[in-house]
Structure 1
Amino acid sequence: MYPTIEHHGAVTGVTGSCHELKIDADDSVLIDCGLFQGAEVSNDGAAFDKLQIEFSVEPVRALIVTHCHIDHVGRIPYLLAAGFDGPIYCSEPSAELLPLVLEDAVQVGFTRDKALVERFIGLIKSKIIAVPYAQWQTVPLSGKTGSKLKIKFKPAGHILGSAYIECDVGSGEQHKRIVFSGDLGGPYTPLLPSPKSPYRADVLVLESTYGDRLHENRRQRKGMLKQLISHCLKNRGAILIPAFSIGRTQELLYELEELIHRYREESVAKGLAWEDLEIIVDSPLANRFTEVFRKLKPHWDAEAKRKLRAGRHPLAFEQITTIDSHQDHLNTVDYLKKTARPCIVIAASGMCAGGRIVNYLKALIEDERTDILLAGYQAEGTPGRTIQTYGPRKGYVELDGRRYTINAGVYQLNGYSAHADRDSLVRFVKGMRVKPSEIRLIHGDVKAKSALQQALLKVVPDANVLIP
């Protein structure tokens, strides 16, 4: 029977990632424990408003974190409340980022009592075990059956610190290699080295967010970003970019710095040069993450390091205005509503399901001078999906209980997804020397999973490609 895998999230959609690797009857580990967004739910009834852990945590010996996005780590407070008392394993960069993510999650979802938050974060830090990339780590089990588990983190190229997990499970001479992809990035994600395939997998648990799509390449998407910014600023209104605080915000800053550096004195709009274009980052959490990203420069890719050696600052250039305090945020929203000043605003959340971007949308979405650039996946049931679907036909979106007509322009920047597309996912499998006999597709909608399933069967025709 063992090892087996039970999925507690990211099965019927792309959020709430949580997977239990059952080593034997007495021992298991969790890979991720994330929040659900929009209309997505788990098999055991968890959803964005039903977050309690419904499965038994008694056999769970450890939590293994692939990366620090909230849909992969946001239910950790509930996991601890359910009685989990084991270690949390993650990569070294994720060990820096995880306390920040959970501090914000606790303040938003539980309490703003400073002493309680500090106590919780202290508990989290005491549980974190930072593991260097490409190094085997033994996970202690109960020892009742003689089963052994070793894990290894390998760069996934999704966000800083992201990893796919190789699990070596077995006893005696019988060992099985189970790989959890987490979220895989594309081959040219800014700041990050591209993911390389593992040598071997007997079972692969593979994300499929964009299993039915192909992304633009880096040059195409940078050209598209330049073209869209120029197009949107013709009416001299604000450009709103909903973006996750960790990963997407830093990628966008990196690409905007490149555009400003390359086209500095050229006109981006009438009377406005690229070097005078203001970039507003309105997210205290994103600003803290950006500081940590700068601290973790040794983990950047070769291109980013070359820019640093040339004296450039891809995440801290002079055109950036950072906003932290809530009052400054409200003042900025009010100012832009009155003036429609041409600028770019980057604010969380990426699916418009909360955070400061909602106030910008409420103030500006009915103004025809405003433009909205969606730079990532919009889950079903989120305001972002509604804006994406009905914005081009001047429909409406409900924000905080009120309907707003979408008069703003709405554009999709698909190439800026931090997720691998269909061909990159297939290459990840194709690059394995010893290919899996079983592939379990998670973290995608039905259409994406089905398309990826068919593409994979051409590469591994003998494998059992499952949609759990």
Structure 2
Amino acid sequence: MINLHHHGATSGVTGSCHELTLTQGSHESGILIDCGLFQGQDEGRGASASDLSIDFPIDHIRALVVTHVHIDHVGRIPYLLAAGFDGPIICSEPSAIMLPEILEDALKIGFTRDRQLIERVLGLIRSRLVPVPYGQWHSVFAEGDCSLSVRLQRAGHILGSAYVECDAREGETEERIVFSGDLGAPHAPLLPAPQSPERADRLVIESTYGDKDHEDRERRRYRLKAVLEHALEDGGTVLVPAFSIGRTQELLYEIESLIHEFGGELWNNLEIVVDSPLAADFTRIYRDLKPYWDAEATELVRQGRHPLSFEQLTVINSHDEHLNAVDYLARSHRPCVVLAGSGMCAGGRIVNYLKAMLGDRRNNVLFVGYQAADTPGRDILNYGRKEGWVQFDGNRYDIRARIHQVSGYSAHAGQSDLLRFIQGISQAPQEIRIVHGDEDAKQAFKKELDRLLSSEVLIPLGS
């Protein structure tokens, strides 16, 4: 039998971990697709180290396939290794470069501060990495009547992101099973849009925005412009809680294009601050991996533009510099945009900025990504427009700053994009499993799929 099991992202949008297993007699062989961190209260579990145990059998798992390096897809890999997993980690070539970087940061925050231990874990991870070019089949195992091969295709979500095609054979039974990972929206900056698979007998698909569509790129770009102009006029700071990979780089790209288009004294006085060593590292990696950029971004570089490295961009690395920046911007009236992690305001340097600046009406908070339930980011969105409060470290902070959300920079496909991805498959999948979404989003997406297709559409529970 060819079976699917889900060990995360079944009652929320984080903790992605899916299993494909071939069973012949008493013998099982399988792979995992992602092994991610739970955030907020997904699955009724928090994001602390005590909640990250691998609570499912792994003796038969032959390989881990990573769709992309966001922490909710890779954050439990150290725990998977600790549980005894000794197989390869298959991923795209850009992801192979970025995965140790993101896990180093995760290890320091949630695992240990012991530098030698961190280096041993990272060394083990690097030794297991198997970078696979896009569009190339890779055999995971072939034994007797059982075989499994995987192929990665561009997902357009972040640099290196992929959806995974799996060709599984068990005796006379052959199936192609596709795992979407996280799909990007068309026309997003920097990366080519995902193309539909040629075939999928079964499809496991994300549904983060299964109930809504994003603003188109031009509209969200001008909404971004309006928020920044407000900051310029009021001498305030725009705080952007941004994920280090993907969102930060897309925003820098768009801000550079606005400065280039509008220029003048007003825009030339705007300072852009990236206050995150990790985001700075990944911005450098994005610059180094220009061959994976889309045609539009490549043309800008050919023209001599530097969309991820421009004159008004400042990077803050040390903690002392960070604290000085918080204090200076809270007191000054200098217009500034600060991009800092974490994206859901659950920790990281953005928290210090929010504590110091949420109470000032001159300032703005701009959300550009999904905010999971029971995170401070969701609370600011829910209560900030009513001038409510948010809690950090047991203390209440009044929200007087203006709160904005521009969903198009979420890096996730909207409902119409997800439907196009599925309808682009030449023959509709026999079975579609909806994961990685809040309940309302999954139900709305299922309703649309039931209306449009004859496929069996399931919303699986966790294993």
TM class by smaller structure? over 0.9
Structure 2: distance between partners of 1:340 and 1:115: 44
Structure 1: distance between partners of 2:397 and 2:272: 25
How far 1:310 moved relative to its partner?
A: 0.1
How far 1:173 moved relative to its partner?
A: 4.2
Structure 2: distance between partners of 1:465 and 1:86: 32
**Which position in structure 2 is the counterpart of 1:467?**
459
Find the partner of 1:30 among 9, 29, 32: 32
How far 1:201 moved relative to its partner?
A: 0.4
Task: List per-residue Cα deviations over 1:111-168 (Å, max 9, x = no partner).
Answer: 2222222221111110000000000000026x3x631000000000000000000000
The answer (yes or no) to whether the contact 1:46–1:54 under 8 Å persists in 2 is no
Structure 1: distance between partners of 2:330 and 2:257: 29
How far 1:47 moved relative to its partner?
A: 5.4
Q: Which stretches in structure 1 are left out of the alignment for 5+ residues? A: 266-271
**Which position in structure 2 is the counterpart of 1:414?**
407
Structure 2: distance between partners of 1:140 and 1:431: 30
**Which position in structure 2 is the counterpart of 1:148?**
147
Find the partner of 1:447 among 417, 436, 440: 440
Find the partner of 2:345 among 340, 352, 360: 352
> Structure 1 340/57 Cα, relative in aligned 2: closer, same or farther at 3 Å?
farther
Amino acid in structure 1 at the alignment position of 2:396: R
How far 1:367 moved relative to its partner?
A: 1.5
Structure 2: distance between partners of 1:46 and 1:249: 25
How far 1:341 moved relative to its partner?
A: 2.5
* Match status 1:367 vs 2:367: no
Structure 2: distance between partners of 1:237 and 1:277: 10
SS in 1 for 2:281: helix
**Which position in structure 1 is the counterpart of 2:73?**
72
Structure 2: distance between partners of 1:173 and 1:131: 28
The answer (yes or no) to whether the contact 2:2–2:170 under 8 Å persists in 1 is no
Structure 1: distance between partners of 2:195 and 2:268: 37
Structure 1: distance between partners of 2:413 and 2:434: 14
Task: List per-residue Cα deviations over 1:404-447 (Å, max 9, x = no partner).
Answer: 11111111111111000000000001000122010000000111
The answer (yes or no) to whether the contact 1:41–1:47 under 8 Å persists in 2 is no
1:42-191 equivalences in 2 (<5 Å): 48=48, 49-140=50-141, 143=143, 146-191=145-190
Q: Which stretches in structure 2 are left out of the alignment for 5+ residues? A: none
**Which position in structure 2 is the counterpart of 1:269?**
none
The answer (yes or no) to whether the contact 1:40–1:47 under 8 Å persists in 2 is no
1:193-272 equivalences in 2 (<5 Å): 193-265=192-264
Amino acid in structure 1 at the alignment position of 2:30: S
Task: List per-residue Cα deviations over 1:195-243 (Å, max 9, x = no partner).
Answer: 0000110100000000111111111111111012112433211110000
How far 1:306 moved relative to its partner?
A: 0.2
SS in 2 for 1:251: helix
How far 1:99 moved relative to its partner?
A: 0.7
* Match status 1:342 vs 2:329: no
Superposition TM-score, scaled by structure 1 size: 0.95
Structure 2: distance between partners of 1:179 and 1:390: 39
Structure 1: distance between partners of 2:394 and 2:30: 42
**Which position in structure 2 is the counterpart of 1:306?**
299
Aligned length: 456
Structure 2: distance between partners of 1:209 and 1:188: 18
The answer (yes or no) to whether the contact 1:185–1:194 under 8 Å persists in 2 is yes
Find the partner of 1:332 among 325, 334, 340: 325
Structure 1: distance between partners of 2:445 and 2:111: 38
Structure 1: distance between partners of 2:247 and 2:355: 22
Task: List per-residue Cα deviations over 1:50-86 (Å, max 9, x = no partner).
Answer: 1111111111111000000000000101111111111
> Structure 1 46/394 Cα, relative in aligned 2: closer, same or farther at 3 Å?
closer
**Which position in structure 1 is the counterpart of 2:43?**
41
SS in 2 for 1:33: coil
SS in 1 for 2:385: helix
Amino acid in structure 2 at the alignment position of 1:222: R
The answer (yes or no) to whether the contact 2:163–2:182 under 8 Å persists in 1 is yes
Amino acid in structure 2 at the alignment position of 1:309: R
**Which position in structure 2 is the counterpart of 1:284?**
277
Structure 2: distance between partners of 1:59 and 1:218: 45
Amino acid in structure 2 at the alignment position of 1:180: F
Amino acid in structure 1 at the alignment position of 2:215: E
Structure 2: distance between partners of 1:387 and 1:75: 28
**Which position in structure 1 is the counterpart of 2:373?**
380
Amino acid in structure 2 at the alignment position of 1:6: H
How far 1:291 moved relative to its partner?
A: 0.6
Structure 2: distance between partners of 1:439 and 1:340: 53
The answer (yes or no) to whether the contact 2:231–2:336 under 8 Å persists in 1 is no
CA RMSD of aligned residues (A): 1.3
How far 1:39 moved relative to its partner?
A: 1.1
How far 1:172 moved relative to its partner?
A: 4.4
Structure 2: distance between partners of 1:76 and 1:101: 11
Percent same amino acid at aligned positions? 57
How far 1:302 moved relative to its partner?
A: 0.2
Structure 1: distance between partners of 2:343 and 2:147: 39
Superposition TM-score, scaled by structure 2 size: 0.96
Structure 2: distance between partners of 1:189 and 1:30: 29
Amino acid in structure 2 at the alignment position of 1:93: P
The answer (yes or no) to whether the contact 1:91–1:131 under 8 Å persists in 2 is yes
Amino acid in structure 1 at the alignment position of 2:163: Y
The answer (yes or no) to whether the contact 1:237–1:370 under 8 Å persists in 2 is yes
The answer (yes or no) to whether the contact 2:269–2:335 under 8 Å persists in 1 is no
Of the structure 1 ranges 170-179 and 201-210, higher mean CA displacement relative to structure 2 is found in: 170-179
